[in-house]
A and B are shown apart, each in its own frame.
Chain A
Amino acid sequence: MNFVIVGATLPDGKSADLFVTDGVFATEAARGATTIDAAGLTALPGLVDLHTHLREPGYEQSETILTGSRAAAAGGFTAVHAMANTSPVADTAGVVEQVYSLGAQHGYVTVRPIGAVTMGLAGERLSEIGAMAGSRARVTVFSDDGKCVSDALLMRRALEYVKTFGGVIAQHAQEPRLTEGAQMNEGALSGELGLAGWPAVAEESIIARDVLLAQQVGARLHICHVSTAGSVDVVRWAKARGIDVTAEVTPHHLLLTEELARSYDSRFKVNPPLRREEDVHALRGALADGTIDIVATDHAPHPLESKECAWDEASFGMVGLESALSVVQLAMVDAGLIDWADVARVFSSKPAEIGGLAGYDHAFVPGGTANLTLYDAAHQRVFGLGDLRGKGLNTPYLGRELPGRVVATIHNGYPTVLDGELVDAATVAADAVNYTSRNPSA
């Protein structure tokens, strides 16, 4: 399917027509191309999420690769990195190849598996990092996310060993002993509510240790979901020293604060927890000045029963793919902190670079694979369950007014979202087969 996208506003603010022919950007319209009127819409390069929980294999009651891919496409994403904490854990070539293949077969987004750092996420022995890197899934990001690689020696070895294969460790920074039983940010509010505290120092001390380890062994390090002002200071210090570290922040940490825990509504229970207003402002500033490199969703779907209970008993996590761009618009763009070119960087080119995903370094270049999303930034909506496309309903934004709406998403040159609605699964799967047959190396 070929497209002429008429009158889109590019991230740099200029207006342009875009042409998609045989899966790539072209300089002119193909005959018979479908016209999309993009007047008033912002064209962004396809969004890339470096931190997604797709739950399959093993937790299909929460999400599958298909349902998570659909949620991603609906949110404007064309690539997601699937975290390793599945069952079985993604710690062997077999598991990552299965996840990769299912993603390619469904075709809504490019699914790039993340490999576990340690076998079974147990934090004891390294997983088969080389085998995963050399597999068809070509894994480049390794993470025990959900758990911290807390053993200092094991973390050192992991940083060194992954360097061998050109990969990166994405650390979930959480000192385990300091957060035993932790339920929410530690502070005045946790004291009042009687919920066990998750102190900022538990995150900041691990980040401080790991940037020094990365410097010591000359390796790359990526920090998942930075959540405190103190962590921002540590990352800023590390970058000033030339340490090869990158960092991500979630949309929810850019917008929401711990005050929401006051309701004991477990939709607001997440790990790392929602923090103070000061932290939210520090994170926004850090994303704006480049200290924090990217936004990543940490999309964490859970079945209803894991959230319909007392706070202590509820699972950690929120879904985020469908709302991510809206939340970043609200917290960052509408607040005047960044522009759409910055959004393209923090949500597409930079996460692709960290993840080693080719084809995202220059957007809309003729000959380049057509991955893009058309976004109506002027739209306003009250976010509801009807806006969700995955299995998880555990969104913290229910009933909240959010700006923007994804109108169309094009992945590898074929549409996954048109007129704000997902293209059906059979059509997308067939388009994915066509794409793969034309690009056997992809």
Chain B
Amino acid sequence: MRHLLSTKDLDLETALGILDVAEDMADVANREVKKLPTLRGKTVINLFFEDSTRTRTSFEVAAKRLSADLINFSAKGSSVSKGEGLKDTAQTLAAMGADAVVIRHSASGAAQVLASSGWIDAAVLNAGDGTHEHPTQALLDAYTMRKRLHGDRSRGKSLDGLGVTIVGDILHSRVARSNVWLLNTLGAHVTLVAPATLLPAGLDGWPVTVGYDLDAAVDSNPDVVMMLRIQAERMHAAFFPNTREYSRQWGLDDDRLARLRADTMVMHPGPMVRGLEISAAAADSSRSTVLEQVANGVSIRMAVLYLLLASEGGAA
């Protein structure tokens, strides 16, 4: 693997490979010394043009557990916020000898532009580009599903036949896109549920079932219900009348929660808006995997950094 830009171009073997390496990485967290020497001497840069403390910290923990040198290059308060563009920043990081760049950017395709530009030779890891993709989030979601299903016997297993319902702002969600492609590759059946205003155009070509009715989706016995965050800026752009109506129609409230099977997973990529897309009871129930997702995120990011930097003698 040279870069990780999207889940659309991951084949089954590669995807399972990442998930299996993440199993090994998870074991490190259970040791007394939570650290491997694998990436000693490698420099990983967290290049965040958008704020995201959670994802940035997760990559930071992952890199440090592998003994890489991790440098945070955040946009706020740096030359990036003074108008320096992607090109100059990339060339600066290249001159500093970065081996991998973890990039978060508000523009779709920014990670791909960085990887194909020739401005920098480092491995590029997409940590979220605009409304396009967020591949490590999808990988950690798949890992979490597999772990709940198969526990210690997860290695090598796909998600064949699993029914996953993703609910909310699909249109603007990079998490949804990455999940759709990866879950499909892993054999799961994905259903998208949202008001028509929050669904992308041309869904016919996507490997999904589309619905508008969350009650029908809840009653169709899903194995996983993944709730997406509703961002504040959507509330004033006529995507839906108001938060009360959204919550009533597409929120996972206590009543809908009670109608799910006891072992149905309730997932959320965070940060959650409790009371809007998810009730407090749903977020805190035993069905909820929210905290597992956070823990598994570190394992997945360790696995990806390891595969990008340690195998085949590093970035070729």
A-side residues, CB < 8 A to B, are 183, 186-197, 199, 263-265, 305, 308-313
A197 cross-chain contacts in B, Cβ below 8 A:
201
Query: How near does chain A come to B88, taking the closest CB pair, in angstroms?
Result: 10
A190: nearest residue on chain B (CB-CB)?
B201
- Give A305 to B113 CA distance when docked, in angstroms: 14
In the complex, the 10 A-B pairs of residues with the closest C-beta atoms, listed nearest first: A188-B202, A191-B200, A264-B109, A194-B132, A310-B107, A194-B131, A312-B107, A194-B108, A310-B110, A187-B202
- Give A313 to B49 CA distance when docked, in angstroms: 13
A312 cross-chain contacts in B, Cβ below 8 A:
106-108, 130
- Give A265 to B201 CA distance when docked, in angstroms: 22
A310 cross-chain contacts in B, Cβ below 8 A:
86, 105, 107-110, 113
A265 cross-chain contacts in B, Cβ below 8 A:
113, 116
Question: Is B23 an interface residue when CB atoms closer than 8 A count as contact?
Answer: no
- Give A183 to B133 CA distance when docked, in angstroms: 17
A194 contact from B86, B113, B129, B203, Cβ within 8 A: B129
- Give A192 to B130 CA distance when docked, in angstroms: 12
A194 cross-chain contacts in B, Cβ below 8 A:
108-109, 129-133, 174, 177
- Give A194 to B87 CA distance when docked, in angstroms: 22
A190 cross-chain contacts in B, Cβ below 8 A:
200-202
B112 touches A264 (CB 8 A): yes
B contact residues, range: 20 to 34
A-B contact pairs, 15 of them (CB 8 A): A188-B203, A188-B204, A190-B200, A191-B202, A192-B177, A194-B131, A194-B177, A196-B131, A263-B116, A265-B113, A265-B116, A305-B85, A308-B87, A309-B85, A310-B110
B109 contact from A199, A308, A311, Cβ within 8 A: A311
B177: nearest residue on chain A (CB-CB)?
A194
B204: nearest residue on chain A (CB-CB)?
A188
B109 cross-chain contacts in A, Cβ below 8 A:
193-195, 264, 310-311
A311 touches B108 (CB 8 A): yes
Question: Is B151 an interface residue when CB atoms closer than 8 A count as contact?
Answer: no
A180: nearest residue on chain B (CB-CB)?
B237
Query: How near does chain B come to A386, taking the closest CB pair, in angstroms?
Result: 20
Question: Is B77 an interface residue when CB atoms closer than 8 A count as contact?
Answer: no
A311 touches B113 (CB 8 A): yes
Question: Is B205 an interface residue when CB atoms closer than 8 A count as contact?
Answer: yes
A188 touches B107 (CB 8 A): no
- Give A197 to B199 CA distance when docked, in angstroms: 12
User: Given A195-B108, A312-B108 in contact, is the A189-B202 Cβ separation under 8 Å?
Assistant: yes
User: Given A188-B201, A312-B107 in contact, is the A193-B132 Cβ separation under 8 Å?
Assistant: yes
Q: A187-B202, A192-B206, A310-B105 given. 5 additional CB < 8 A pairs? A: A183-B108, A188-B202, A195-B132, A263-B116, A310-B109
B106: nearest residue on chain A (CB-CB)?
A312
- Give A313 to B8 CA distance when docked, in angstroms: 24
A192 cross-chain contacts in B, Cβ below 8 A:
8, 177, 200, 205-206
Query: How near does chain A come to B265, taking the closest CB pair, in angstroms?
Result: 26
B85 touches A191 (CB 8 A): no
B115: nearest residue on chain A (CB-CB)?
A264
A196 cross-chain contacts in B, Cβ below 8 A:
131
Q: Produce 1/0 per residue, B107-131, CB < 8 A to A.
A: 1111011001100000000000111
